[in-house]
Amino acid sequence: DAARRVVDGLRPDDRATLILFSDRAEMVEPPGRDLVVLRSVIDQLRPTHRSTRYGPALQLAEQVLRESELPHREAVIITDFQKVGWDEEVSAKLPQGTQLTRVDVSDPDPVNIAVADVSLSRDYVSNREEVTVLARITNQGPEPAAGLQVTLDVDGQRSAERVVDLAANDAVAVRFPPVPLPQRDVRYVIRAGEDAMPVDNAYHLVVSPGAPISVLILQHPSARAEESLYLERALQIGREPRYQVLTKRVNELVPSDLDQTAAVILNDAPYPQRESGRSLRRYVEAGGGLLVVFGQRVGAGTWPVAMNDMLPGSIGDPVDRLAERGGTFSVADYDHPIFELFSTPRSGDFSQTRVFRYHRISQQTSATVLARYDDAGIALAEVRLGQGKVLAWTSDMANSWNDFPLQPVFLPFVHQVVQYLAAYEPVRPSRTVGQLLDLSRDLVTDGVTRTETASSSGELDLVVTAPSGERWVERAGSPDRLLELEEQGYYEFRGLGAGDELLVRIAVNVAAAESDLTTVDAEEFASAITESGGASAAASLVATASPEERERRQGLWWYLLIAVLLVLVAESALANRAGRTKRKTTE
């Protein structure tokens, strides 16, 4: 309505440009005098769920205005002036002499209840997986919300509900009872209250069964049963993800043991012989992960020369640090995926570990050192082989040559190592509006029914159904199979010609920051985007000039730039054209 009123106030000789923006900007109509076309475009506008960013629209407005040769230029900005979209460092400056008119359609006393965030925790009761939902509910309004109903729906059925009281501008965590998870993907929806901005009153998830990471631990033929105890215990404690551990002697390895294995640990064991050894090499070259632990049983001269390229360097004799009461080791690369978890303060202290013996290793040029001892010796190093990864740890993991297994950091370290070797990616229960989905890759790792068909979705023609019900076809073989997620809810993907078999369902939510309806200061906004020495913008920031006032502006050519962000009641959302300008091939 605000945009229509502005257009209705234009004279027949005025020129106007219409720019729509959210986190991106689009010039819908180039400069022109056809007000009928402008009104038609405005009538077709529909809100979407994208975020607010002023920068792209202001940059486009600056470009249009600087290219104008008309004597009078005005920018009318219609928005709720949501502060979360404002960047104080915005570089765009409206040209000198431009009049800035601000049309503020925000609610002076906004009330907004939102499901701001949801986390999932998993447990296993009698070998059955259960999921517990913890939802963070916020009240962004100036008044308390008493008796607020918060519900959890599972596959369209009410599973649980809670009633909470929320103070003004406050938040509360709501925990629901554990829900048994079947062996398939399940839709979860958490809802809280009703208000004028319903888009953030619901949070959508696709919860998938937790598939364990399979780990094969190979021991020395004469190893005692407890020599892998610390590794086994560390992995058995894992819950998200779980680890499925098989321990056997290295001389008992058969090639079929590697078929369903995500990571292999040679725990102070010699390299397998004959066909088993060749199979292990092929396993790594094809993308498998191998951790080689050198201890008191395996070291210099025990590794086959033909397999030397599988190590980050040649293994030497042990270095004895007992006389010094042990050495320490430290991380060399906190940017590596194994150590990112420990990069912040109080997230894990490796320096407390005492190392009494370790094998010296001479680094080959292609190897990467990830951790060193305090005497500069290599503690952990990595080498790539084909598509796979090999890590070498130069002391044991049996609480003999060091006390690392007794340190609190040992358990998360082992988990990080195995996840890295297994190329583990947690299944995302949801994505955010505006994110890009790589249809050739992401469909296998997001909320997906894992079948051979789904895993080969990169070669399929896909029928996509958006949350609004709109359907189109994404053709296989396209060089750029990226889908921008525009709507909140569930996107569904089916193979073209495969009937109604659902391959993948992905949940999408609005960005949590959009629930904050705080507005940017008018003076700050105006001074930041206008060149010094230009026409006073502050005086025109209160309201739109009325049609009567515009009628009195006789004898002038006006160049009007309208940057529009429509607001639906109290909802801050992008106004976009009904029907996409860039549409996929329809089914």
> pLDDT digits over 412-465, tens only?
999 999 999 999 988 889 999 999 998 877 775 444 333 334 444 456 788 999
Partners of residue 121 on adjacent β-strands: 132
Greater confidence (523 vs 344) lies with 344
**Is there a single domain that holds both residue 347 and residue 496?**
no
Residue 95 pLDDT exceeds 70: yes
Does residue 40 fall inside a structural domain? yes
Does residue 516 fall inside a structural domain? no
**Is there a single domain that holds both residue 43 and residue 191?**
no
Report the helix count and the strand count for the chain, using DSSP H and E: 9, 34
**Is there a single domain that holds both residue 152 and residue 234?**
no
**Residue 568: its pLDDT value, please?**
25
Reported as type and span, the H/E element at residue 123 is strand 113-125
Pick the last residue of a domain from 174, 201, 228.
201
- Cα gap 81→572, rounded to integer Å: 9
Region of poorest pLDDT, from 70-74, 418-422, 556-560: 556-560
Residue 575 pLDDT exceeds 50: no
Return phi, psi of residue 228, to 5°: -110, 15
Does residue 552 fall inside a structural domain? yes
- Cα gap 577→566, rounded to integer Å: 12
**Residue 210: its pLDDT value, please?**
84
Determine the structural domain holding residue 460 and report its residue range: 431-509
Does residue 165 fall inside a structural domain? yes
Question: Six-digit token pair at 397?
Answer: 């993991």
Amino acid identity of 260?
A: Q
Amino acid identity of 220?
A: H
Region of poorest pLDDT, from 33-42, 179-188, 228-237: 33-42
**Residue 498: its pLDDT value, please?**
67
Q: Would you say the pTM of this structure is higher than 0.85? A: no
Question: Six-digit token pair at 173?
Answer: 């965590």
**Is there a single domain that holds both residue 267 and residue 292?**
yes
CATH code, 12? 3.40.50
**Is there a single domain that holds both residue 482 and residue 546?**
no
**Mean pLDDT for the stretch of residues 210-225:** 92
Does residue 326 fall inside a structural domain? yes
pLDDT class of 31 with cuts at 50, 70, 90: low
Does residue 426 fall inside a structural domain? no
> 159: closest CA among 127, 194, 137, 191?
191
Chain centroid, CA 195 distance in Å: 28
Region of poorest pLDDT, from 166-170, 234-238, 321-325, 524-528: 524-528
Does residue 497 fall inside a structural domain? yes
Question: Six-digit token pair at 346?
Answer: 């109080």
Does residue 521 fall inside a structural domain? no
Kindly report whether the peptide bond that precedes residue 412 is cis, defined as omega within 30 degrees of 0. no
Pick the last residue of a domain from 421, 456, 477.
421
Pick the last residue of a domain from 151, 178, 201.
201
- Cα gap 188→158, rounded to integer Å: 10
> 124: closest CA among 240, 271, 34?
240
CATH code, 117? 2.60.40.10
Greater confidence (388 vs 18) lies with 388
**Is there a single domain that holds both residue 409 and residue 447?**
no
Region of poorest pLDDT, from 7-16, 90-99, 153-162, 316-325: 7-16
Greater confidence (98 vs 217) lies with 217
**Is there a single domain that holds both residue 43 and residue 66?**
yes
- pLDDT single digits (tens) 123-160: 888 888 999 999 999 998 888 999 999 999 999 999 99
Sign of dihedral through CA atoms 416, 418, 423, 425? negative
For residue 420, is it left (φ>0), alpha (ψ between -120 and 50) or beta? alpha
**Is there a single domain that holds both residue 350 and residue 457?**
no
How many domains does the chain divide into? 4
Region of poorest pLDDT, from 119-133, 180-194, 549-563: 549-563
145-154 sheet: strands from edge to edge? 157-166, 145-154, 186-192, 202-207
**Is there a single domain that holds both residue 78 and residue 158?**
no
**Mean pLDDT for the stretch of residues 554-572:** 34
CATH code, 324? 3.40.50.880
**Residue 522: its pLDDT value, please?**
80
Report DSSP letters for 386-453, one per residue: TTEEEEEESS-SSSSSBSGGGSTTHHHHHHHHHHHHTT--PPBS-EETT-EEETTTGGGTBSB---HH
**Is there a single domain that holds both residue 80 and residue 163?**
no
**Residue 372: its pLDDT value, please?**
94
Greater confidence (126 vs 29) lies with 126
Partners of residue 368 on adjacent β-strands: 382
pLDDT class of 566 with cuts at 50, 70, 90: very low
> 100: closest CA among 418, 419, 522, 391?
522
**Residue 357: its pLDDT value, please?**
95
**Is there a single domain that holds both residue 306 and residue 227?**
yes
Cα–Cα distances (Å) from 403 to 355, 407, 408, in that order, read 7, 7, 11
**Is there a single domain that holds both residue 553 and residue 462?**
no
Residue 356 pLDDT exceeds 80: yes
